[in-house]
Structure 1
Amino acid sequence: MRIFGSNLLPWRGRAASDEARRTREAVARVLAMNPGLRYAPHCEERLSRALMTSLEYTDKLVASLPPACAADAHAWSSDPAIRAFFATPDDLARAFSRSEAMRDYFERQADTTEGYAVLGMAMTERHVLGVAQEGGSIRHDVPQTTLCFGDHRVRISSDSEASLRAEIGRRMVDQLALEGVASLATNRRKLVKHSRELLEKRVALLERQGTGMRAVLGVPPVTETDGLARIQAEMKENAQALAKLRVPGKQGERELDGVCDVLSKPSEHIYVKSRSIRVDMMNVVQPEGSQAGRLVEFHFACIPGNPAITRAFVLARFPRCELLRGGLHIDAAMQAI
């Protein structure tokens, strides 16, 4: 028992050290979002306790995601989910090839043959009148529901599934912190006017920059009229203003209470859901009890906000050999992907 215990101690020590490091890094990211929190008593200690709950929750959430699937021409023919996402294999190749994140990754990693990424999509259900066969006859104007996937975007990529999942976890925690800052900005009764205005601008800048789950799910971070350099300059100016802001002691505690409240209740603000739907080759939803078509599981994540955004997503492996080269048009709107 002594030998077993002595061998276990170094592992426990490393695990505790890694957890402490992750918590410190998360605290630093939260304070970067709202520098004014530093003035609240016991700020880092309280944030650490709240973030431990967030990290535990997001770790379980990320671990629950299915393994990354192949995203290539062969998968389009064999994987019913990939087939449902894209009308043709060419559409699949275009979606990944127009991603700046994917192209930059392959440019940096010259020797790698594939890259891991999160593909985010909008999914809509359309109610249409179609054609169906009943017995030996064909009926027209049959009410049907079809699944439509669009706005395919890839904005984060990595060299392994493990590192991709770690990045998703960090983005989830950042999203919770952003929601905490946003909750302060909307609580007009408890914030002094100047502090509220600065926080409202901070939230808007962070969202435009693509902080949190927006990047994971492929929500564009900026519009054509927004320049990244301009946003970064405004972020710096806003951070300096917040850092100089001296709020009353009780006010600072209220702000910290608000952020810690969100971080301590992560399941109320961010979640992933799945739906299993039987569809045919044309993405027509099959009636309950039908054995036609194939059963496909879709995953969705919700981004808090006003309004909240729900996007379908999948972890994917995309091969370098299918990256389109030469002649691919990446217009200004897609630069933000």
Structure 2
Amino acid sequence: MLGMLQSIFRRNHTGPYPESLVRAAIEQAVDETDSCLRGVAGYRRKLRPVVIKALDQVMALVDGLEEPIRVDRAAFGQDSRLKLFFASAEHMTRVFEQDAILAALRSPGGGEPRSIYALLLMDYREQSTFGTASQGNILLKDVPQVAVDFSNHRLLDPTWEAEETLCLLRQRAYNHLLQIALNRIAMHRDKRAGLERRRTLLQAKARVSERATRGFSVSALSTPMDCSVLRKQADEIESELEKLGCDTKADRTHFKLVVDVLSRPEAHLWSEPLRLTVDPMGIKRSPDTPGAKTLTFTRLHNARGQSAVASLVKISTPF
């Protein structure tokens, strides 16, 4: 099943997805969220359109990445993007040399040089600072400026083949959507379990209180609980449980949660261009500033408010 599913993400077909591969993606969606969804009548037919929509989104997301940036010491001196990503050539070397997966992939000494492909992720922020600026022949000091900063560099899915890395990234994006659906199912289960525990406790308190009112000298020991209040609270919880659906409806509820996520993949994982006009020092400038360059990057976002700049890289080895 996994090998068949990977065929989708390898883009080794043209036109619509083969039906066998769509079915594999559907089955993975069920396996990774709730296998009981197979109990929903016609689950494959109902999941098919939303799974295809999710596949389209992850394909477009990865296919929208720019061509890989060549990474080596020589490239650092020539590529403005690398100079913006890293503080120095030594910093760049340190980032790649310290990556454990990359180290395991590198060719042994004396082997034929090869390139490793991966996705480089970085946190991005803008920082207010002060610097100098020229105005005609006058040099101004303490001018407010905005510096761009890339940090927390990490690599995803390094492999020897560009298409293999792209395949793994597409699979990763699809898995991310399924994880969101799984989290929602888990929250639904936790909420139901919590309500059931509260209902059981309130019902027990009500029974004890009713028996206590018939016991010996209750008023002398403590103020009895109001049974009507307890029953009202239990009824309110019962209403909430009915909204969640009874146990026999849980599969359908979970099914709706999966459909909701996969039918709106762009709301959970998306990208947008990040256009920066900067000088060689990484200070934001206007487009007409001498020496400034306008660079465009891909910025990934998820529904949790997290974001990262993403760039495919082609890492020369030995580095």
Assess same fold via TM > 0.5: yes
Q: Secondary structure at the match of 1:319?
A: strand
Q: Secondary structure at the match of 2:106?
A: helix
The answer to whether residue 306 in structure 2 is matched with residue 312 in structure 1 is no
- Pairwise mapping of residues 84-123 of structure 1 onto structure 2 (< 5 A)? 84-106=84-106, 113-123=114-124
Q: CA deviation at 1:315?
A: 0.2
Correspondence for 2:177: 176
Is contact 2:33–2:181 with CA below 8 Å preserved after alignment?
no
Letter of the 2:301 counterpart? C
Q: CA deviation at 1:143?
A: 0.5
CA distance in 1, matches of 2:112, 2:181: 41
Q: Secondary structure at the match of 1:172?
A: helix
Is contact 2:107–2:114 with CA below 8 Å preserved after alignment?
no
- Pairwise mapping of residues 129-168 of structure 1 onto structure 2 (< 5 A)? 129-168=130-169
CA distance in 1, matches of 2:13, 2:318: 43
RMSD: 2.9
Letter of the 1:276 counterpart? R
Q: Which runs of 5+ in 1 are unaligned?
A: 1-11, 197-246, 323-337
The answer to whether residue 69 in structure 2 is matched with residue 72 in structure 1 is no
Q: CA offsets per residue over residues 146-200 of structure 1, 9 Å max, x none?
A: 0011111113211222121111111111111111222334458xx753499xxxx
Q: CA offsets per residue over residues 9-64 of structure 1, 9 Å max, x none?
A: xxx99866756325404532552343343443333443333211111222122222
- Pairwise mapping of residues 140-289 of structure 1 onto structure 2 (< 5 A)? 140-186=141-187, 193-194=192-193, 248-289=247-288
Q: Secondary structure at the match of 1:271?
A: strand
Is contact 2:267–2:303 with CA below 8 Å preserved after alignment?
no
Q: Which runs of 5+ in 2 are unaligned?
A: 1-11, 196-245
Letter of the 1:52 counterpart? I
Correspondence for 2:297: 298
Letter of the 1:58 counterpart? V
Give the TM-score, by structure 2 length: 0.72
CA distance in 1, matches of 2:54, 2:136: 54
Q: Secondary structure at the match of 2:180?
A: helix
Correspondence for 1:231: none
Give the TM-score, by structure 1 length: 0.68
Letter of the 1:66 counterpart? E
Is contact 2:117–2:162 with CA below 8 Å preserved after alignment?
yes
Give the total of aligned pairs.
Answer: 258
CA distance in 2, matches of 1:131, 1:33: 56
CA distance in 1, matches of 2:69, 2:115: 12
Correspondence for 2:37: 37
In percent, how many aligned pairs have the same letter? 19
- In structure 2, the CA distance between the partners of 1:106 and 1:136, relative to structure 1 (3 Å rule), is same
**Radius of gyration: which is bigger?**
2
Q: CA offsets per residue over residues 101-124 of structure 1, 9 Å max, x none?
A: 21222269x656110011111111
Q: Secondary structure at the match of 1:179?
A: helix
Letter of the 2:253 counterpart? R
